[in-house]
Structure 1
Amino acid sequence: MRPVGKDCLVAFAGNLYSVPARKVRPRQLVEVRATKSQVALHSTVPDADGETLLAAHSRAVGRGVRVVEETHWDGLPTGKGRRTTTGDVTPPPRGEPSASSHVGPLQALLDRAAVTQIEVGRRPLSVYDELTGTRPFTTNSPTKESS
């Protein structure tokens, strides 16, 4: 497993291999399947067709080589801004989808502000010490003072 860089490149064995910008997002983990002659990069989640293959490249010889298929950068801005993914792939939702995805930006801000008013339960750290079976960490340990 390797993360995708914001430049749509994946580091493997001292080299960089490209993946399609429209199918990934920065820091997304991809699976690397390598043989002596080929490096295949797979998504951890199948697409609508059930496919996971993002890219297949000939394995680079040596170290420090960039193996890039130019079509992987289609749709990206040119120049300095080129080194960012398009963001067409949205990260998987955390938990339940929020109702704010169907409302305007003002309502989304109001909803986020309401979340800050939720009361969070508090308990002493000794509860966690009991659960894990560890001794509590104390900063005031008994010491012998010599005079």
Structure 2
Amino acid sequence: MAYEKVRELMESLKLTGMMNSLDFSLHNWGKGEKDVTELLEELLLAEVKEKSERRYLTALKYSGLPFHKTLEEFDFSFQPSIDRKQIMELKSLRFLYEKENVVLLGPPGVGKTHLAVALGMEALREGKKVYFVNAISLVDKLKKAFSERRFEKTIGYFKSIELLIVDELGYLPLENEGAKLFFELVSEKYEKGSIILTSNRGFAEWNRIFEDEILATAVLDRLLHHCTIVNIRGKSYRLREKQKTGLIGTQLISSPGH
């Protein structure tokens, strides 16, 4: 009866981790290998682990990450231009704790978004607030917030995000209003939080993104002051998959123009 009562109490208090570990822990305790204090410690650790996993899954759900891939799944052999030691240093999340940025540059399909997502997942595991957004979608959100007179509140939200991942800056140019609002966001995040940004354009071309050389320089100044730059020069993973199916030839996948 006491056993059933304990399980009912655990369920009532939503101690799922303890409840799931109860039988196994009692079995070991019954062998006389542990005293009651060690039994309680084992059950409490199980509960801490369960709660931590639930927090992670909830944060992952609301992070906006488009897919869930890790650094272990990244094929470094396909992209020899990437310094693996540099990526492993980023995996330590030192940049996040020091409120530095990461900029991933390279043509489409070379793995920029995969690396950004993988670092985002590492940050989520550390209990950090992460938000992933496409660059154009981000600017649209800022413009809408500005027009609805809630820009300060929106900026406040983005300031609270410890790791903001901005994907695909440069695929489309930003018109003047959007570019200025993006600059405001970068300025507010400067030395207060980290940004991971992916772009298909080299820095010399950023005046094409912002259509204003002075604004482009101001954005770069704040992004790059404390920043790790990963420049990827390689083939497209997506085109490689198409090549495997015979839909395209090897010439296209090897072309530096792609």
Give TM-score, length-normalised by structure 2.
Answer: 0.15
Greater strand proportion: 1
Give TM-score, length-normalised by structure 1.
Answer: 0.23
